[in-house]
Amino acid sequence: MTFPYLSSFLSGAGLGASLIIAIGAQNAFVLKQGLKRRYVGLVVAICASIDVLLIGLGIGGMGALISRAPFLLDVIRWAGAIFVFLYGARAFLAAWRGPGHLDASDGETQTAIGAASTVLALSLLNPHVYLDTVVLLGGIGARYGWPRNAWFAAGAMCASIVWFTTLGYGARLLQPWFEKDIAWRVLDVIVGCVMWWIAAALVFSH
């Protein structure tokens, strides 16, 4: 790998990481699945695959098309706001229920389809994911020209894969802190606040 290609790769990884590593609905869900050790691999794979696909589309020129479709982004924005608001309400309800709401029997009620559907909704019903991965990363990457834009995209993709894998499987290192019910209550409240903050941001973003 020559220096120009390495520079493009690192630039993509750095920018991609700065956009991905933030408190958000998707990251909060991945963290919680990691703590519960429920379908972690599935959730991580879906999150990383979505980012890889969208980054690839952005580098391929899809960003210009999305930036010219404000109506589509508005539909996604309102659908995302409603879904995230309801998910936040569910988190607050879980915090209020308290003891036992995350025991083994409760965990068994979640199915792979349920986990996949939730993470897909949290990921795709957020217009900012398209603006960040497709428009922003795609626009910046396009300036490099072939083949440096491919190295830029590869760096951003690798950052996404490493982040979600670390978040999902690294969450178990925090497990000792979550042996007490109060820790789960606090986490649920934090998740609820994050979800409602994102919902408000989506509603009032225009």
Which residue type, as a one-letter code, is found at position 26? Answer: Q
- Contact present, 81 and 202 (Cβ < 8 Å): yes
Average pLDDT over the chain, rounded to an integer: 85
pLDDT tens readout for residues 2-47: 778 898 999 999 988 888 877 688 998 999 999 999 999 999 999 9
Domain ranges of the chain: 3-203
Over residues 97-103, the mean pLDDT reads 55
Give first-to-last CA distance, the chain, whole Å. Answer: 43
Q: How far apart are CA 18 and CA 157, in angstroms?
A: 13
pLDDT at 103 over 70: no
Q: How far apart are CA 157 and CA 56, in angstroms?
A: 9
The pair of three-digit structure tokens given for residue 65, joined into one six-digit string: 């098309």
Q: What is the CA radius of gyration of the chain?
A: 18
Q: How far apart are CA 133 and CA 113, in angstroms?
A: 25
Over residues 170-175, the mean pLDDT reads 89
Give the three-class secondary structure for 189. Answer: helix
* pTM for the model: 0.79
Q: How far apart are CA 157 and CA 153, in angstroms?
A: 6
Give the three-class secondary structure for 48. Answer: helix
Within 10 Å of residue 32's Cβ, how many Cβ atoms? 19
- Contact present, 118 and 46 (Cβ < 8 Å): no
Q: Where does the pLDDT of residue 105 fall: very low under 50, low under 70, confident under 90, or very high at 90 and above?
A: very low
How many percent of the chain have pLDDT more than 90? 36
Q: How far apart are CA 97 and CA 92, in angstroms?
A: 9
- Contact present, 80 and 127 (Cβ < 8 Å): yes
pLDDT at 73 over 80: no
Angle between helices 112-124 and 40-59 (to 10 degrees): 30
